[in-house]
Structures are given as C-alpha cells and as structure tokens.
Amino acid sequence: MITIEGSASLNLVKEQIDESLSIAESNLEQFVEEPDNDSRLRASIEQFSQIKGVFKLINLPSAAILSEELELLGLRILARHQQNNERELATISGAIMLLAHYLEYVQVKKQALPVLLIPAVNEVRGLLGKPLVAESQFYELADNPHRPDKPGKPAPEVAQLEQTGRRLRHMYQVGMLGVFRQQNIPTNVKLMQRALSRLDALCGNAPASKLLWLAQGVMEGLGSGKLELNTARKSLLGSIDRHIKPLVFQTESALKKEMSSTLVKECVYLAALAGTAGPVLSEIFSVFRLDPNGVRDETLRAERDIMRGPGGSVIRSVAEALNEELNHIKDALDLGARGASGDTEGFNTTADAMRKVANTLIMLGLSKPAGLFKEQSEIVRRWSTGNVDGDSEEFNKVADALLYVENSIATLAPPRGPDSANYPEAAANVMKSGMSVTQLDDARRVVVAESRAGLSLAKRAITSFMDSNWDGMHLNNVPVTLKSVWGGLIFLQLPRAAEVVRACEDFIEQRLIRGLSEKPSIQMMETLADAITGVDYFLEGMEDNKPIGEGILEVAEESMQELGFPVKAA
C-alpha cells in the first residue's frame, strides 16, 4: 500500500476543496442578499459538512474542526432566522477565505501547523457560546514529570498562606485586569509574577506548587515580549486564577491536589513557544526536555501573517501578469536596440510600463527591485528612436535590471515539489550568478519531461522483453536510457529518486542482460515495474505542480530491496 503523507494528500483533493469553498462562499453571498432564501445557507452548510470529512481523511485536524464549527454556526443562523446575524455571517465569510489561504499555505510550505487556525476556531466557538479550544490542542507532551524539589525541601506554610493568600491573589487579579486592558503589560505582568512567586514560596514542595512554577514561566514569556497576548492566553490567565482560589479558601486540601494534565500541557506549550527567556523558563525547558530549536511564538505570528496575506492563486495571477508585461518591455527594448522601435514618442510608453511594474512590485513588498526598475525607467525615457546602442553599458544596466526584476517575480510563486522549501535560497544563488530563475525553471520542466520520457521508454522495453519470451535484445539500450534519467534526476537535485533509478539499472544490467541464466518470474518483473513506476509517479507530481510526497519513493526502495538490489542512502 502506498503511504502519502504531509501536504501530498492535500494536493490530490485541493481542487475539489477549493470548489466546495467557492460554492459555499457564493451561496453565502446570495443568502446575504436574499435572507429569506434559506436554501442558499443550507447549501453552504452542506459544503462545510462535506469538506469536514475530507479534512479528517487527509489529516488536517484544525481545518476539520473549523469546518465543523462553521457548519454549527450556519445551523444556528437558520434557527435564529429573524434575528440580526450580520456578525455571524461576516465571521463565516472570513473563515472561508482563511481556510482557502490555509490550504495554499499547507501546499506551498509543506507543513500543516494546525495551531494557525486556532484563533479562527475560537472566534466561531465564541459566537456559539462554547468554551475556547486550547492552543495546545495539537501539542503532544512527551512526559509530565514532577517539579524538582526546592532547595532544603521546605514544608508548606499553611497558616501564612491562609493569612496572606487572599491579598496575594488580589495582587494577581489586579495585574491580570491591567493586562486584559492592555495597560502597561510589562509592569502588570511583573505584579502577577510577584504574586505567583510569593504564593509559590508559601506552598513549599506541595504538589500544588507545580502550577505556580509553570505559571511563572508563562509570565516570563509574556513579560519579555516573547509571547503575544491573545484570547486563548487571557483565558489561561483566568484559569490560573481559578486554581489559586482553593489555595486561599481550602488551603490544606488544595496543597495536596495535583495539577490537571490539560493545564500542564497548556503552560508547557506556551513555555516552549517563549523559549528560554528567563530562569524559570530555562528550568522548565530542562525538566520537560523541550526542544531548544523548536517553533517560537514569533515564528507562529510571522506564519499567520503569511497565511492571512493574499492567497497563492492571487499571487500567481499577479506574477503571470507581471511576466507578460515584462515580455512586452523586453520586445520593445529589443526592437529599440535594432533601431526598429514602434514607439513614435521614443521610449515613453516603455518607460511608463516599467514604472507601472515597479509600482506593483512595491505593493508586493519587493521595494528593492521596484526602486531599481524606476531608476532605469528614467534612463529609458531619455532614449530616442534609432539612437540606442545595444552594446553600451547603459543598455546592459537596463537589461540587468530586467533580469533582476524577472527573478524577483519568480520567487513570488515558487514551484511545489520536494525541494520547494529550499527554493528561495536556490533562486537567490541563481540571481547572484546573473542567470534567469524563470529560464532555469523552464529548463527544470524540460528535464522532468525528458526523464519521464526515458522511464516510459524503459517500461516499454521491459514489456517487449516479457512479450518476446525474454529476448534480451529489447533490453540492450535500457541501461543507457536509465543512466540519462539518473543524470536528469541529479540535475533536479532528487538524489533519492536517482538512487532508485541506479538500482533499477544495476538490476537490469546484472540480472536480465548479463546474468540471465533462467527466465525471471512475472512477480520479479512486476516488482521492477513497481520501482520504475514509483519514480515516474513522483516526477508526474512535479510536472503537474502537485507533488505526491516521498512516500512513493519509499515504496520504490522497498521494491528494489525485495529484488536484492537495495538502494544506497542518498
């Protein structure tokens, strides 16, 4: 059975999901215009129900949860048909757009990061009057160790805790209220942290002190600015306060109570996002063996901003339009260099087109190439028909600016594939070498097509070999063909797939051509075909810009292992 993991499974169904989201959005818009037409809203609800199941199937849990909540919110609107539902409808509309962007994000980034959708899920749940989903919903806590004993193993000071606990809790609440109001957060967090520290000292080594210790870690993250305050985290601060209350009013029994695993997980998750921003956080990292190189809250914020930006399809459309405009500019400059410019006003039209492209680049955040292109447009504007030297330094600078802008646009919509995560770095290296990223991408597409053609040729030869009662003549050229495919895969920086092809070549050379002492079994030939077909499917995914994932290569490797020609580690 072929195992397809990660974003590969999304690639197989994304077009259908996009269509469902489009149908849901269209019906929702029509319901807003015709609020008496319940059938429109029911059609949207039906789409949410369908994609919910698909998201579960392809293991995108947060998208499945959001779809389910949208379905419930739609049903709530139907039940309260006569009431004002503008806020609910706006929330559904925004969530549809966010889901579409999230799918683009998963497909391009090849990582799901389900926590990115938690704020949207909680916004919908808030309208439904349901409790918020914890940010740690999808975080797996490997272990839940006890808090290390404090030096000297002090006993709880029950009497002192009963006497001053209420005041310390009030101190925490004052700070929390200030934080909720966004008033001088660092100072109010210090106030909360002091209250927690004092309570912690009075609790000694009692089990309840673990909550106060982890809560101090959360405060260090908030106070240092490493953690951003959001609705879910405000809810956690309130939950901590509710756990402090029994320490004040039911002191002896509360001291012995273990902290709930759910609260532990939430606090540890936030500590992991904050990093080692203080002594308590450093201790938490050590005790819970957290990854020092793990995802941080600032990274999540940056990824959320990316996800909420223009969708990938929009960016690709803009990139295509810009490339078309650049081709017109290139043609105009080429004609001008040959003294055949069709612009009766010199190069004013070309210069205006360059400025138009530059203004669009600014909106896309590409200020450096935009500034360079604007600068060169003024130079082009000064040119006159029949007076352009295509070999001059000035003309070459304009050409270099065109290449730089073209490469910058190419990075806006990187191709999807096994090396897509490294595409920005690779593109930067290409740009430094003075090459065109677009032309290199075209070359890669040609190599993928040629590699697939080579694999098809090899498969046909193997089929002829079997149909001709094992006439080895049909295989004579297969090793050479597979060698050329291997070279193409190396060029494409696909060493794992290349090694599978090398193993296939060795098998055919050693077992089917030189060492054919007896007829191979049909099962053996089918296994060889599985390996070659696996690489072909992998390349097909790249060719269609819908990568299937490296799970298919794992199957191909297993096939060659079964044939006794294990694939070397790439």
- Check whether residue 541 and residue 480 sit in a common domain: yes
- Check whether residue 101 and residue 205 sit in a common domain: no
From 304, 333, 349, give the residue that closes a domain: 304
Concatenate the DSSP letters of all residues of 102-113 into one string.
HHHHHHHHS---
- Check whether residue 340 and residue 392 sit in a common domain: yes
Report pLDDT for 6: 46
Buried-exposed string 188-204: b where 16+ CB fall within 10 A, e elsewhere = bbebbbbbbbbbbebbb
Residue 145 domain-assigned (yes or no): no
Cα–Cα distance measured from residue 480 to residue 283, given in angstroms and rounded to the nearest whole number = 60
- Check whether residue 206 and residue 263 sit in a common domain: yes
Closest CA to 287 of 90, 148, 87, 116: 148
**What is the maximal distance between C-alpha atoms in the chain?**
97
Count of structural domains, the chain: 4
Cα–Cα distance measured from residue 276 to residue 269, given in angstroms and rounded to the nearest whole number = 13
Which SS3 state, helix, strand or coil, does residue 80 take?
A: coil
Which SS3 state, helix, strand or coil, does residue 320 take?
A: helix
- Check whether residue 494 and residue 469 sit in a common domain: yes
Report pLDDT for 125: 94
Give the dihedral sign, CA 221/227/230/231: negative
Residue 421 domain-assigned (yes or no): no
Report pLDDT for 168: 93
pLDDT in tens, the chain (570 residues): 233 344 567 877 888 999 999 999 999 999 988 888 889 999 999 999 999 999 998 889 999 999 999 999 999 998 887 678 888 999 999 999 899 888 888 876 778 889 999 999 999 999 999 998 989 999 988 889 999 999 888 899 999 998 899 999 999 999 999 899 888 888 889 999 999 999 999 999 999 999 999 999 999 999 999 999 988 899 999 999 999 999 989 999 999 998 889 999 999 999 999 999 899 999 999 999 999 888 999 988 888 877 776 555 556 667 778 888 888 888 888 887 776 655 555 678 888 888 888 888 887 777 888 888 888 888 888 887 767 777 788 888 888 888 878 877 776 665 555 444 444 555 555 455 545 556 666 777 888 899 999 999 999 999 998 888 888 888 889 999 999 999 999 988 889 999 999 999 999 988 888 877 678 888 889 889 889 988 998 888 777 766 666 778 888 898 899 999 998 765
Residue 64 domain-assigned (yes or no): yes
Cα–Cα distance measured from residue 421 to residue 550, given in angstroms and rounded to the nearest whole number = 14
- Check whether residue 294 and residue 321 sit in a common domain: no
> What domain range is 68 assigned to?
8-131
- Check whether residue 290 and residue 334 sit in a common domain: no
pTM of whole model > 0.85? no
Cα–Cα distance measured from residue 287 to residue 29, given in angstroms and rounded to the nearest whole number = 52
Residue 143 domain-assigned (yes or no): no
Report pLDDT for 534: 87
Query: In the numeric block, which tokens belong to residue 410?
Result: 């190419």
- Check whether residue 334 and residue 283 sit in a common domain: no
Residue 136 domain-assigned (yes or no): no
Report pLDDT for 7: 58
- Check whether residue 289 and residue 338 sit in a common domain: no
Residue 281: alpha-carbon gap to chain centroid: 27
C-alpha angle with apex 26: 21 to 31, nearest 5 degrees? 125
Query: In the numeric block, which tokens belong to residue 359?
Result: 């203004």
Rg (CA), the chain: 31
Residue with tokens 């870690």: 217
Q: Give the list of residues 6+ apart from residue 225 with CB closer than 8 angstroms, or none.
A: 186
Query: In the numeric block, which tokens belong to residue 189?
Result: 């967090």
Cα–Cα distance measured from residue 104 to residue 570, given in angstroms and rounded to the nearest whole number = 30
Residue type present at position 223 = G
- Check whether residue 409 and residue 467 sit in a common domain: no
Residue 151 domain-assigned (yes or no): no
CB 148 within 8 A of CB 287: yes
Closest CA to 536 of 477, 451, 474: 451
- Check whether residue 283 and residue 316 sit in a common domain: no
Residue 196 domain-assigned (yes or no): yes
Which SS3 state, helix, strand or coil, does residue 452 take?
A: helix
Buried-exposed string 528-553: b where 16+ CB fall within 10 A, e elsewhere = bbbbbbbbbbbbbbbeeebbbbbbbb
Residue 71: alpha-carbon gap to chain centroid: 25
Cα–Cα distance measured from residue 502 to residue 490, given in angstroms and rounded to the nearest whole number = 11
CATH of the domain at 540: 1.20.120
- Check whether residue 187 and residue 99 sit in a common domain: no
Residue 1 domain-assigned (yes or no): no
